[in-house]
């Protein structure tokens, strides 16, 4: 007897009635469906080449392109018509170049100091184009993009001194990476059952971070159901502005005495306000002794790891972290958005996020292989190919040049600090520790004006006139202008010109008067 094909059973029908068509069709829509691919590929190439030229021209002349408010004309021109009328590829490309490209957030300009924001590079631009062409979904499976992401993670793991079993995942930024790191810490403290039971009946966990810790940590503690009241803010040492280890030990002891369950210390490497660094080695010693998890928020400051001494010394001990969160989109100049969560214990990391769903189980071979999948290490299932722009940045420029950029930015912040110390109009509000410089208009020069109003006027005046861009913050309750140097395009001349411009503006202000400086000067 001929052997029956095992698959033939799938085709065997038990009914003699022929299957009815579910929907009767008078025409086949596949024949009339418009394609989203170009009909004329040569015309499409011409549009694309012209667009790329415009982008490169924009970057080449970026000094003439500071932040500008999005004008009403551009708002009108970019409104999506209610009719949804298509305008085609060429007109769309034209609109992008004319109405959108000029109105970025200013962080590509060399005199942008206002916030800790990265600048981007041409290598990143090209990588984004390739990634968009591939349109890979990096949640999992067996394809080139996941191997590139693994390569980037392995590079970071080695640079930051974590062991071979450490794991990582690329994410939107440090906010998401912090949530991931602290979720793994919570799982270590409460056990795997927390995934099912939640924290309602769990012991009250307490965490510790320096005063002024970034909002990203507070948000992560809230989202994990731990409650931000249980995040203890530890005072800073007045000399270094980093967390005071003695005060940390006292807080932990006092919490244990009152029945709290300390579980995690969040160390900050590069505080957003002052660029200060917690003493990670001292904190890691305390964590080891007290059996606490050490998470490091190194959003930008972690990259001092590849800088020259003495700046590199500020992150000594970062390799002792249980979890690390930092960004590529800040000091590595990689295009937004891109950060990473690195975990010392890769198994625990996976156990915190892996799923049992059969449709998400890696196979042994084929496109469904490539396990373990990234969706088992974080929040997202569908994920873009973020790793390519990091990989391209490292390939194109190399670690040494990227490290030099970080060191040079710190030297430029120190230069800015020197200028301010010598200034007749300005005063430093905190020491320049790495790449952030906080200062104020000297209150003694504006006797009857509120120094806060003078600082606000300075920031707004220059934001509206194409820079230098500064922002406003508070340091130890004192109002301050903040300049963060995170930009590979910023030169010594930019820094000198920025402070000279602020001084000249101060000089132009009335020293006193009922209307305040902004009204008087503008
Ligand atoms: C110290 C610090 N932590 C966390 C964050 C949040 O990072 P992201 O914006 O990449 O989510 C920032 C952002 O500036 C930061 O400076």
**Mutate which of 299, 330, 390 for ligand 1 pocket (most atoms within 8 A of beta carbon):** 299
- Centroid of ligand 1 to alpha carbon of 297 (angstroms): 8
Q: Would you state the pLDDT for residue 198?
A: 96
Strand partners, 478: 475
pLDDT at 450: 86
Burial class (CB in 10 A: 0-12, 13-18, 19+), 124: buried
Which among 63, 117, 55, 121 has a CA at the least distance from the CA of 466?
63
Q: 468-481 pLDDT, tens per residue?
A: 999 999 998 899 99
Ligand 1: which atom is nearest the Cα of residue 337?
10
Spatial contact of 274 and 483, defined as CB atoms under 8 Å apart: no
The answer to whether the beta carbons of residues 50 and 43 sit under 8 Å apart is: no
| CATH pick for 137-384 out of 1.10.3720.10, 3.40.50.10490, 3.30.360.10, 3.40.640.10 | 3.40.640.10
* Number of other CB atoms surrounding residue 398 within 10 Å: 11
Q: What SS3 state is found at 115?
A: coil
Other residues' Cβ atoms within 10 Å of the Cβ of residue 386 = 29
Rounded to whole angstroms, the Cα distance separating 498 from 245 reads 37
pLDDT at 519: 41
Q: How far is the CA of 7 from the centre of ligand 1 (A)?
A: 55
Residue 339 to residues 35, 180, 360, 454, Cα–Cα distance (Å): 36, 12, 24, 36
> Hey, whose CA ends up nearest to atom 12 of ligand 1?
299
Whole-number Å distance between alpha carbons of 160 and 104 = 33
Q: Which atom of ligand 1 is nearest to the CA of 115?
A: 14
Closest protein CA for atom 11 of ligand 1: 175
Q: Yes or no: say if 214 and 271 are a contact pair by the CB < 8 Å rule.
A: yes
Please state, in angstroms and as integers, the Cα–Cα distance from residue 256 to each residue in 225, 230, 262, 412, following that order: 20, 13, 7, 44
Rg over CA atoms, the chain = 28
* CA–CA gap between residue 57 and residue 187 (Å, rounded): 50
pLDDT for 356:
85
Where along the chain do its domains lie? Answer: 44-105, 137-384, 404-521
* Fold assignment, 404-521: 3.90.1150
Binding-site residues, ligand 1, Cβ < 6 A: 116, 173-175, 214, 216, 268, 270, 272, 297, 299-300, 327, 339
Question: What's the confidence (pLDDT) of residue 25?
Answer: 52
List, for the chain, all residue ranges whose pLDDT scores fall below the cut of 70.
1-31, 82-83, 511-522
């Amino acid at each position: 007897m001929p052997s029956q094909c095992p698959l033939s059973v799938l085709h065997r029908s038990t009914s003699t009635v022929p299957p009815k068509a579910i929907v009767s069709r008078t025409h086949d829509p596949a024949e009339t469906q418009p394609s989203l691919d170009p009909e004329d590929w040569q015309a499409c190439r011409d549009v694309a080449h012209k667009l790329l030229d415009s982008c490169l021209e924009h970057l080449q002349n970026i000094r003439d392109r500071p932040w500008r408010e999005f004008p009403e004309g551009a708002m009108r021109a970019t409104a999506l018509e209610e009719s949804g009328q298509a305008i085609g590829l060429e007109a769309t490309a034209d609109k992008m170049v004319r109405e959108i490209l000029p109105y970025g957030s200013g962080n590509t300009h060399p005199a942008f100091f206002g916030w800790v924001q990265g600048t981007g590079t041409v290598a990143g631009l090209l990588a984004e184009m390739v990634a968009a062409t591939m349109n890979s979904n990096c949640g999992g499976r067996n394809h080139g993009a996941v191997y590139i992401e693994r390569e980037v993670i392995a590079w970071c793991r080695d640079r930051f001194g974590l062991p071979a079993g450490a794991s990582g995942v690329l994410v939107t930024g440090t906010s998401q990476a912090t949530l991931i790191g602290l979720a793994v810490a919570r799982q270590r403290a409460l056990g795997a059952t927390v995934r099912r039971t939640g924290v309602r009946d769990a012991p009250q966990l307490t965490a510790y971070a320096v005063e002024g810790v970034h909002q990203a940590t507070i948000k992560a503690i809230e989202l994990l159901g731990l409650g931000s009241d249980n995040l203890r803010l530890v005072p800073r040492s007045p000399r270094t502005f980093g967390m005071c280890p003695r005060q940390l030990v006292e807080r932990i002891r006092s919490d244990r005495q009152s029945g709290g369950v300390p579980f995690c210390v969040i160390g900050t490497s590069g505080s957003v306000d002052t660029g200060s660094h917690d003493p990670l080695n001292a904190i890691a010693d305390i964590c080891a002794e007290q059996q606490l998890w050490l998470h490091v928020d190194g959003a930008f400051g972690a990259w001092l790891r590849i800088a020259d001494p003495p700046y590199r010394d500020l992150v000594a001990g970062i390799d002792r972290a249980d979890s690390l969160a930092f960004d590529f989109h800040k000091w590595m100049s990689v295009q937004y958005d891109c950060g990473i969560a690195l975990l010392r214990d890769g198994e625990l990391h996976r156990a915190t996020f892996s799923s049992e769903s059969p449709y998400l189980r890696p196979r042994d071979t084929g496109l469904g292989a490539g396990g373990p999948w990234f969706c088992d290490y974080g929040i997202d299932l569908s994920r873009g190919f973020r790793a390519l722009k990091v990989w391209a940045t490292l390939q194109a420029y190399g670690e040494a040049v990227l490290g030099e950029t970080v060191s040079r930015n710190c030297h430029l912040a120190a230069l800015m600090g020197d200028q301010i110390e010598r200034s007749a109009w300005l005063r430093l509000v905190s020491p320049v520790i790495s790449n952030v410089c906080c200062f104020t208009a000297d209150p003694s020069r504006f006797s009857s004006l509120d120094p806060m109003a003078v600082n606000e006027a300075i920031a707004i005046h220059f934001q509206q006139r194409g820079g230098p861009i500064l922002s406003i913050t508070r340091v130890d309750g004192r109002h301050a202008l903040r300049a963060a140097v995170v930009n590979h395009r910023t030169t010594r001349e930019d820094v000198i010109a920025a402070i000279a411009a602020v001084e000249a503006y101060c000089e132009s202000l009335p020293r006193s008067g009922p209307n305040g400086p902004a009204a008087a000067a503008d």
